[in-house]
């Protein structure tokens, strides 16, 4: 067990250093096709969570520059308005809107989803980007462990509750979840809120990201041919405010070799633009290509079999009917 865990961490570090850095991006970009990014999104509605900063901001700007109508979901009005104005003026696209929602509150997520679906608009692209790595063991006002609340509970609840809007955009609708290569270090674990053992924020973040990848697979299987595609992705290691705050050591060690925010958002925008026939629903993407969900000899693959009871737990924690 200990040896396997050590192996996972070492393999992740080595793989990450070779691929997740800026030099990895530049190497992979040699295979990128310019025409992939020449697709327009005029008339399409995209919703991006955590759109005022880092990869979410770059994603919202990228989608707006392709003509999409973008709904930016942010928790702070001032930071959201500043980002909104910047995106409108940089892209010349006036169809960019701000929605305020603190995703650590499942009640706020539910109210926002009700408001959004009652607009009766098709939702072509949902980008579940907002996320955090909080090292302290914090409990939200609604009693949830904070990393889990934002990374998993909000992602799940929002996706499920805006499904009627996504289905209105079928067969073109897609959900893109910004996960992380950090998930390679953890199997799927039923202890969703880290109640067993000493709390470790980095481990909890990696577990949350593993849940996102397994959920993406589960959604793809469950939704069948309803015309909504589900994709998880890893942005690589990008120099965002989130990384500077939560992983200052990584930021320092890789100074000069971290990706820009645009490079981190590149695969999100690519996934939003590509014809669905080119994409595999349920898959994990990295640098415009399908990537493995498990590292070799990591012993994480079998854990995905636990996803059904885990979904039931998430639904129950979020006050959604189980088997609903």
Structure tokens that stand for 53 in this block: 């900063």
d(CA 239, CA 54): 8
Which of the residues 240 through 259 are near ligand NAP (CB under 6 A)? 240-243
Q: Is 158 in the site for ligand NAP (CB under 6 A)?
A: no
Which of the residues 97 through 116 are near ligand NAP (CB under 6 A)? 102-104
Q: Is 59 in the site for ligand NAP (CB under 6 A)?
A: no
Determine which residue in the list 113, 132, 166, 317 makes contact with ligand NAP, applying CB under 6 A: 132
Give the nearest distance from C-beta 276 to ligand NAP in angstroms: 23
Angle at 35 between CA 29 and CA 40, to 5 degrees: 120
Q: Of the candidates 246, 98, 99, 82, which has an alpha carbon nearest to the alpha carbon of residue 180?
A: 246
Helix (H, G, I), strand (E, B) or coil at 176: strand
Sign of CA dihedral 248, 253, 255, 256: negative
Which of the residues 71 through 90 are near ligand NAP (CB under 6 A)? 75-76, 79
Q: Is 282 in the site for ligand NAP (CB under 6 A)?
A: no
| Shorter beta-carbon distance to ligand NAP: residue 39 or 244 | 244
Give the nearest distance from C-beta 194 to ligand NAP in angstroms: 17
The burial class, CB within 10 Å (0-12 / 13-18 / 19+), for 202 is middle
| Shorter beta-carbon distance to ligand NAP: residue 113 or 150 | 150
Q: Is 129 in the site for ligand NAP (CB under 6 A)?
A: yes
d(CA 133, CA 150): 10
Residues in touch with ligand NAP (CB under 6 A): 50, 52-56, 75-76, 79, 102-104, 129-132, 150, 178, 180, 234-235, 237-238, 240-243, 264
């Amino acid at each position: 067990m200990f040896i396997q865990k050590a192996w996972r961490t070492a393999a992740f570090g080595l793989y990450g250093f070779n691929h997740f850095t800026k030099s990895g991006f530049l190497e992979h970009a040699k295979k990128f096709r310019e025409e992939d990014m020449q697709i327009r999104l005029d008339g399409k509605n995209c919703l991006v969570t955590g759109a005022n900063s880092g990869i979410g901001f770059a994603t919202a700007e990228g989608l707006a520059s392709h003509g999409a109508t973008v709904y930016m979901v942010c928790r702070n009005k001032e930071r959201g308005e500043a980002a909104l104005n910047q995106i409108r003026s940089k892209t010349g696209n006036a169809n960019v809107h701000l929605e305020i929602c603190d995703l650590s509150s499942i009640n706020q997520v539910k109210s926002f989803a009700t408001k959004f679906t009652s607009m009766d608009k098709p939702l072509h692209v949902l980008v579940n980007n907002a996320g955090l790595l909080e090292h302290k063991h914090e409990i939200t006002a609604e009693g949830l462990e904070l990393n889990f609340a934002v990374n998993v509970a909000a992602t799940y609840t929002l996706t499920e509750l805006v499904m009627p809007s996504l289905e209105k955009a079928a067969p073109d609708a897609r959900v893109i979840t910004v996960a992380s290569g950090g998930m390679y270090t953890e199997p799927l674990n039923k202890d969703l809120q880290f109640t067993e053992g000493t709390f470790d924020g980095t481990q909890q973040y990696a577990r949350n990201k593993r849940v996102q990848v397994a959920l993406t697979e589960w959604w793809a299987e469950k939704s069948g041919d309803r015309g909504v595609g589900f994709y998880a992705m890893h942005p690589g290691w990008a120099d965002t405010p989130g990384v500077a705050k939560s992983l200052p050591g990584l930021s320092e060690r890789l100074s000069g070799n971290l990706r820009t925010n645009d490079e981190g958002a590149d695969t999100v925008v690519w996934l939003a633009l590509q014809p669905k026939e080119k994409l595999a629903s349920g898959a994990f993407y990295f640098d415009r290509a399908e990537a493995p969900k498990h590292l070799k000899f990591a012993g994480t693959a079998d854990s995905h079999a636990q996803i059904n009871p885990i979904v039931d737990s998430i639904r129950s924690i979020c006050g959604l009917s189980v088997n609903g």
